[in-house]
Amino acid sequence: MNNVADKEQKSTLTSMLRIRFKNILDPIGAFLNRLGIKPNTLTILGLVGNTFGAFFLAKGQIVLGGLMILAMGPIDALDGTMARLRGEPSKFGAFVDSVTDRYSELVIYFGLLVYFIQLGNWMNISVVYLAAAGSVLVSYTRARAESLGYDVKIGLLTRLERYFVLMPTLILNIPMVGAWLIAIFANITAIQRILYIRKQARSKLD
């Protein structure tokens, strides 16, 4: 069972990228640790940076907002790296990281919503809302399933994939392309997970 779990962990895009860039992340993480910066401090810094990025999105400065949000991306990997190098990865730290990730993602969508509300573009408002809802549901289905003892590390558009979809479209000033893709495929991912959990629940009854 542990070998299966290890293989699944290695198969996720986030885990593969952390392994691939380990030789880059570890020295940076070690340097930040020597400066006395706490992993949770870096996590909160990422949220603050994303909030500033969302502010620029709300003002219609999409490219500037996208660049600021892009700059916050490596922080998500560094806080975990720093905790691992300290030898003190904790459940609370993982909890703070996950919750902050959700806030960061939602504040970005909020920035886009404010911008399109000012324009009175209800189609775009609806699509951004669906993108936000799908993103939350992808995370919630996994969290709820794992709390019930189910494995659900599957899906077309998990958090890192959503990041890779949204960032280029913000920087290229075509945010609705990313919003449409996330609105469609994040909700498909949530449905995928619901069906996968249903299959596991039925197999346990057999």
Q: Which domains does the chain have, with CATH numbers?
A: 2-205 (1.20.120.1760)
At residue 125 the predicted structure's pLDDT band, cuts being 50, 70 and 90, is very high
Helix (H, G, I), strand (E, B) or coil at 16: helix
Give the mean pLDDT of 146-173.
87
At residue 13 the predicted structure's pLDDT band, cuts being 50, 70 and 90, is low
Q: Which of 76, 97, 101, 151 is catalytic?
A: 101
What rounded mean pLDDT belongs to the chain? 84
At residue 175 the predicted structure's pLDDT band, cuts being 50, 70 and 90, is very high
Q: Say how many C-beta atoms besides its own lie within 10 A of residue 142's C-beta.
A: 23
Active site residue 79: no
Q: What is the pLDDT of residue 5?
A: 39
Would you state the structure tokens that stand for residue 2, as one six-digit string?
A: 């542990």
Confidence (pTM)? 0.84
Give the mean pLDDT of 172-178.
96
